[in-house]
A and B are shown apart, each in its own frame.
Chain A
């Protein structure tokens, strides 16, 4: 039963059921929490824009994520093996994470204009650090006894990296990727606030200005759906390749 609830589908179903039943039952005012049918009606009324927005935002998120994850992995590998590099640069990277997203968003739009590329940059910026940190931690936690075993076979450093360090680090890197994609989504949405015409972030802003509570909830659900889909996609990929217990 717990397993069913823990699965995203199960949780959604339960939640939808509760929402559908409880809101009219407890007579919750629509300004606080609209009823499920009202939300569905609102979603349907704007479904072309909703769909287009969903796809655009997803595109920004995925592209930013791929860029951030790719470079993050490369940087993490470099930092893991060059200690001096890590000591000098890592604190800077951690500090860069505290730069509030919107501050960065304003700057990025100033630099790159109101383009897809700008949004991707913001998403990339947010993905980069978690993936880097996870890669470093994963690679450095490689079992030293297994390293010695490989050395005893006369292996080269590259062989040790590919056959041992990388598989060992995979579970940790996977966690970092999940964090990264969630942050990438945030970056995409906030990036859209600085001037875009299509996108979930844009619609979110509009619903705020026009105080459309039902629309806000539609978008919350849409964003949640995207977040769940993306994280789920990464989990599934991970499970196909990374299913072993550390031993």
Chain B
């Protein structure tokens, strides 16, 4: 059983993760440098995160703080710097071992225009080696739940943005892995569609109960969806705050104006504003 170490702070206290159940994903002193000195940039520095199974964790931070870099590392697309470790299921992962072990949904839907909606949904399953018929059957069963019934034989260009996001989500959910990474999946949607999608996502998650890390830049969304919010600092990104969200589920729309919600939001806003200003400030050489 690993205890979470209190990481070096950036002047803000971090609450330790609740000890008890073993972490599904753990980052220990994970950093990422790009390029060589003197033109080197540090995307993230000394991240220490532990995620327990079944949690819905939201990640929020100012633009350019390295959120997407973090996801790329967890998905196995980028190696962390040598002095850090990523542990998955308790084992250290080296050199791309994570590829194919985590279900990753990038910001863009990246649907393949030459495939039908159904075949786009089964893309990850195909790569896994599942037989076409089985994959299609499995995907087909999910269509009603994702609100896409009847669109199996359509092509991506015939769908609206929200529907394409749902296809991408379906693809992500069909790839049955314990950990799901969602990178701002609702970012391109209008506010109205977004609220509907949020409630619908929580519904799905409650039923399938995977572990989710969800990146967003919207504070309301972060608090509404998550069991726990991680706030990243401006570049070089690190965790400024790890705040549990003790609002009971299921959460309905009115929860946004509740006292508990607003209290958390105030705390997050203060930190986020400070960190966002940093990206606009003139950095002394």
Contacts and interface: CB of A to CB of B under 8 A. Distances in A.
B108 A247 contact: no
Given A154-B127, A159-B127, A245-B157, A149 B110 contact: yes
A153 B110 contact: no
Nearest to A171: B114
Contact of A153 (B72, B155, B157, B175): B175
Nearest to A160: B127
Nearest to A243: B114
A244 B155 contact: yes
Contacts, number: 59
B contacts with A: majority SS: loop
Given A244-B157, A245-B157, A155 B106 contact: no
A152 B104 contact: yes
Nearest to A143: B110
A152 B114 contact: no
28 contacts: A143-B110, A145-B110, A146-B112, A148-B106, A150-B123, A152-B75, A152-B102, A152-B104, A153-B99, A153-B100, A153-B123, A153-B124, A153-B127, A153-B128, A154-B100, A155-B100, A155-B127, A163-B112, A167-B112, A167-B114, A170-B114, A242-B114, A244-B113, A244-B157, A245-B113, A246-B113, A247-B111, A247-B157
Interface in B101-140: 101-102, 104, 106, 108, 110-114, 123-124, 126-128
Interface of B: 72, 75-77, 99-102, 104, 106, 108, 110-114, 123-124, 126-128, 155-157, 175
Contacts of B99: 151-154
A163 B114 CA distance: 10
A153 B135 CA distance: 15
Contacts of B76: 151-152
A146 B77 contact: no
Contact of B113 (A153, A155, A163, A247): A247
Contacts of B157: 244-245, 247
A175 interface: no
Pairs A-B, 9 closest by C-beta atoms: A154-B100, A244-B113, A247-B113, A152-B104, A155-B127, A153-B127, A153-B124, A244-B114, A152-B75
Contacts of B104: 149, 152
Residue from B99, B100, B112, B113 whose CB has the most chain A CB atoms within 10 Å: B112
A149 B112 CA distance: 11
Interface in A132-148: 143, 145-146, 148
Nearest to A241: B114
Residue from A148, A153, A163 whose CB has the most chain B CB atoms within 10 Å: A153
Given A152-B77, A152-B104, 8 more contacts: A143-B110, A146-B110, A148-B72, A148-B77, A151-B76, A167-B114, A242-B114, A247-B113
